[in-house]
Structure 1
């Protein structure tokens, strides 16, 4: 049985000139999720990310070194989607207002070719990774909420509304676990963030 852990990146720099940089909290989230994975005895044979800085930085902060890169693990352009689909955006620096705008844009996007292409690339990357791991292999992928949502949409048979709902609750540095064996590929857990409860509850963030 092959195992893949999809780890969402730590908190990026929302509202800054360059979003694609981990915030100080994001770096700490990366360290904590790395500690949690090691506590669970996760010893990856392969470590991957997309080409985005926030994904690579989370892998490094987690203590797994520089990951291999595959652009298919990159997030969709969330800012571009809001602009393209004309969703009302009251304040680009207000996380709540932006989330409302993004949800509206995603509802339109998931019905078109853009989402199908994005989802197809993500799931092709997952299938290739699982095939390369072979029986008993383990991989860590540091990626983004939309990518993880696309995987869940496929494995759970969700529609576009399901993708939007899953994407909305994705936690920074949350852990999603996938197994693959003779019976196929299955989602075991989604968005696990127990490592941000108790003493680390102030580090639970969504955006």
Structure 2
């Protein structure tokens, strides 16, 4: 049975005000990608197809994983694995864009924030998270052409096509983003909008979500696995 490993990209530039400025891996993000690659090497995926979105943070994470895990070939790109534009989303559905909103899904306080400033950061992060959550819920309720369903359907289609192309004994590694992961896993779990928002909120950088593609369809085996960022690597754990 083919196994599909969905990896969230590593941490991108923190606090950037535009999607373009955000779309660069930080030094920590590159290290996270290396650790995720080592974890995938340990799991030994079988002759894996490697795919990623077209965003720089996704492509760079995928390239680091390929190198670190010793995988063959260059990653294929597919824009359906791209993240949505959070700044545009909040502008359309959440009012004014809060200061400090980066162009990625999770705005939970990062564990790499210095201890002395973590409480203040957490308070501001909660406020930004609330705005993003409301905007996401409004987007999911929008049945128009630019609504959530179009985004979620694109991601689901990319997953179905990938799974259909995997023969027996072949796995896949996909580097994507938190919103795509929430959309796909929420769909597999038949989660209500609030459940999708909750999944979106807790996505960890370079965490691994595992799916199985069998004769009865695609099943979720593990969501947001970040055991490779525990113990002496806990300092590498971030949500944005």
Residue of structure 2 equivalent to 1:177: 210
Pair 1:79–1:90, CA change in 2 (3 A): closer
* Alignment partners' CA distance in 1, 2:175 and 2:90: 24
Query: Do structure 1's residue 85 and structure 2's residue 85 form an aligned pair?
Result: no
Question: Contact 2:152/2:180 (CA < 8 Å) preserved in 1?
Answer: yes
Give the one of 124, 128, 133 matched to 1:98: 128
Residue of structure 2 equivalent to 1:73: 81
Give the one of 54, 58, 62 matched to 1:55: 58
Deviations 1:157-193 (Å, cap 9, x if unpaired)? 0111111000000000000000011232100000000
Give unpaired runs (5+ residues) of structure 2: 108-124
* Alignment partners' CA distance in 1, 2:11 and 2:47: 23
1:44 deviation in Å? 4.1
1:111 deviation in Å? 1.2
Matches within 5 A, 1:115-126: 115-126=148-159
1:102 deviation in Å? 1.0
Pair 1:146–1:93, CA change in 2 (3 A): closer
Name the SS of the counterpart of 2:141 in structure 1. coil
Question: Contact 2:46/2:169 (CA < 8 Å) preserved in 1?
Answer: no
Q: Which has the greater radius of gyration?
A: 2
* Alignment partners' CA distance in 1, 2:48 and 2:188: 23
Query: Do structure 1's residue 14 and structure 2's residue 8 form an aligned pair?
Result: no
Pair 1:180–1:93, CA change in 2 (3 A): closer
Q: How many equivalent pairs are there?
A: 207
Q: What is the root-mean-square deviation of aligned Cα atoms in Å? A: 1.6
1:134 deviation in Å? 2.2
TM-score norm. by structure 2 comes to 0.82
Residue of structure 2 equivalent to 1:32: 35
TM-score norm. by structure 1 comes to 0.94
Give unpaired runs (5+ residues) of structure 1: none
Question: Contact 2:16/2:100 (CA < 8 Å) preserved in 1?
Answer: no
